[in-house]
Amino acid sequence: MNLQTIIENKINTAFVPEYRSEAKAPEALGLVIAEYHGWDGVKILQTAISALEDANFHTEAAAVQELLDNL
């Protein structure tokens, strides 16, 4: 199953029908990531750091790393 399908499935299962049309992929992906990591904030932040670094947002990744270091 590809990521787009996973996101679409999450939108269809996690949002009540009245709000599905308003649900956005980033929201659904956030739910997928949180669930995947067992709602462990440290693991979620580590994933965010990796994503920021991959997108060449190194300064922002460092800021999130500093936040993580200070937890």
55: containing domain: 3-69
Q: What is the pLDDT of residues 61-70, one digit of tens each?
A: 999 999 999 9
Looking at the structure of the chain, the number of domains it has is 1
* Mean per-residue pLDDT, 16-42: 92
Confidence of residue 20 (pLDDT cuts 50, 70, 90): confident
pTM of this prediction exceeds 0.75 = yes
Structure-token pair, residue 67? 């936040």
pLDDT of 19 strictly over 80: no
31-66 in b/e form (b: 16+ CB < 10 A) is bbeeeeeeeeeeebbeebbeebeeeeeeeebeebbe
